[in-house]
A and B are shown apart, each in its own frame.
Chain A
Amino acid sequence: MLKVHRDICGYFGCCVSVCPEGALELIDAYLCVEKSCTSCGICAKVCPLGALEVVDEK
């Protein structure tokens, strides 16, 4: 699953534009991850700050 490190996230939406599933949305200053997220990791790669991480489901 995709983990948002909210202490690192700058809430600027670079990730939203590259999500192939349209699963991310920046609502004001809060990044929402929808159920359609496939944990593909594209957003984690492009995030300029390193605020996103794909972690194993527990």
Chain B
Amino acid sequence: MKNKYDVLVIGGGPAGAIAAKTAVEKGLSACLVEKRPAIGAPVRCAEGIGKEALHEFIDPDPCWISAEMTGASIVAPDGFLMKLTSDLAGNKVGYILDRKIFDRELVWKAAEAGADVTVKTRASAPIMEDGFVKGAKIESCGQVMNVTAEVVIAADGVESKFSRWCGIDTTVPVREIMSSVQYVLADIDIDEHSTVFYLGNDVAPEGYLWVFPKGERSANVGVGISGKKSGEGHRAKDYLDRFVKKTFPQGKPIEYIAGGVSVCRPLASTAADGLIIAGDAARVVDPLTGGGIYNGMYTGRLAAQVAADCIAKGNVSKKALMLYDKTWREAKMGKSIERNYHIKEYLIKQPDTKLNEIIHSVSKINLTEFTTLSLLKEIIRVNPKLMLELGALAASIR
């Protein structure tokens, strides 16, 4: 590790890895620091990603794809199951990844492209000069050094601290953190090519419970509930244990994961003087699905592209770097976050009876395009009065 780079990337998840790789491909020097001793571990993810979304960044590789999905099911609060299939029969609609290997692959690609990478190394404070972020104090296995950089990309995840130290409030509102727990369960009876989502106040208040297959007879089984609904005796773990006991009593947990997923709006500003914030740290997780892998990679790549342009022009002020913020907000990703935020806000206010009604209205949906948007369009098509309830939001779904 040197003491000066064009770009210093904090965090070795998908956002940081793609940022570091993109930066060196743009001809910059870059270093990625990961505080954990291993890239990819521990996993804090349900590991699902859409096929098209993944292909935008990397060709699928069986080494890090645990299972290929061809369909999905939604289970209503009363137990009724709605099946979603794709017109493109036999076609994969999504993947359940093996993040331990996937994240390593992304970081390996960054390293191969020329980025420096270090693990068990943390940024413990920003280096500030005249209000500009100029690098970070780096602590690695007992050694402390100052590493300066033209631009720091903070991709330090849901528990992000770096941007906060730079004066940006990153606090997630209690009602908008999904308090989550997941087991990787082995030896269970599942449809290995279909994800299942369970809804309802008794199963996952203001959230959902998922079964994402990891292959034959094994799955990520987890639950996320609103922080507002969490408390002694009714925590995410209580909901999950109750479900597992009932549904997969024979299942054997081979991994135990907990975590938080933000379902709030993104940070008001994702750039500052000398700093860009990407991925979960920027709170760009999809507020409806809780999915963050694609948005992380997208913002990671964009962060490095904008950093490269601004460094080339000799201006890394907030004003210049805000091109990053403006670009992702105006892109499909940003618009989708905004739309899905409103849909989530609508859905969490609906009682179980309403959710039952909506899900019963369509027992089987054949989607030409396997996205949450096309699912919503189908639901609205058979429930025209939903249009009125959705109000202004309906326009963005049409």
Contact = CB atoms under 8 A, between A and B. Distances in A.
A17 B160 contact: yes
A17 B172 contact: yes
Interface in A1-46: 10-20, 22, 25-29, 42, 45-46
Contact of B159 (A17, A20, A46): A17
A13 B157 CA distance: 9
A9 B227 CA distance: 17
A48 B120 contact: no
A17 B158 contact: yes
Nearest to A31: B159
B252 interface: no
A26 B231 contact: no
A25 B174 contact: no
B159 A49 contact: no
A45 B120 CA distance: 30
Given A17-B172, A45-B230, A48-B230, A28 B258 contact: no
Interface string B6-36: 0000000000000000000000000000011
Contacts of A14: 158-159, 177, 179-180, 258-260
B135 to A, nearest CB: 19
Contacts, number: 95
- Chain A interface: which size bin? 20 to 34
B227 A46 contact: yes
A26 B44 CA distance: 14
A48 B235 contact: yes
B285 to A, nearest CB: 11
B179 A47 contact: yes
Contacts of A50: 232, 235, 237
A18 B257 contact: no
A46 B164 contact: no
Contacts of A12: 42, 44, 159, 257-260
Given A14-B179, A18-B174, A46-B260, A28 B36 contact: yes
B248 to A, nearest CB: 19
Interface string B133-177: 000000000000000000000000111110010000011111001
Nearest to B121: A28
A14 B159 CA distance: 7
Given A13-B158, A13-B259, A22-B161, A48 B180 contact: yes
Contacts of B276: none
A19 B171 contact: yes
Contacts of B179: 14, 46-48
B236 interface: yes
B391 to A, nearest CB: 30
Given A14-B177, A28-B120, A28-B122, A47 B230 contact: yes
B36 A25 contact: no
B275 interface: no
Contacts of A28: 35-37, 120, 122
A17 B259 CA distance: 10
A15 B159 CA distance: 8
A16 B171 CA distance: 8
Interface of A: 10-20, 22, 25-29, 42, 45-50
Q: Top 9 nearest A-B pairs by Cβ distance?
A: A14-B260, A13-B159, A48-B236, A46-B227, A16-B159, A10-B258, A12-B259, A48-B179, A17-B172
Given A14-B158, A17-B262, 6 more contacts: A18-B171, A19-B171, A47-B230, A48-B235, A48-B236, A49-B181
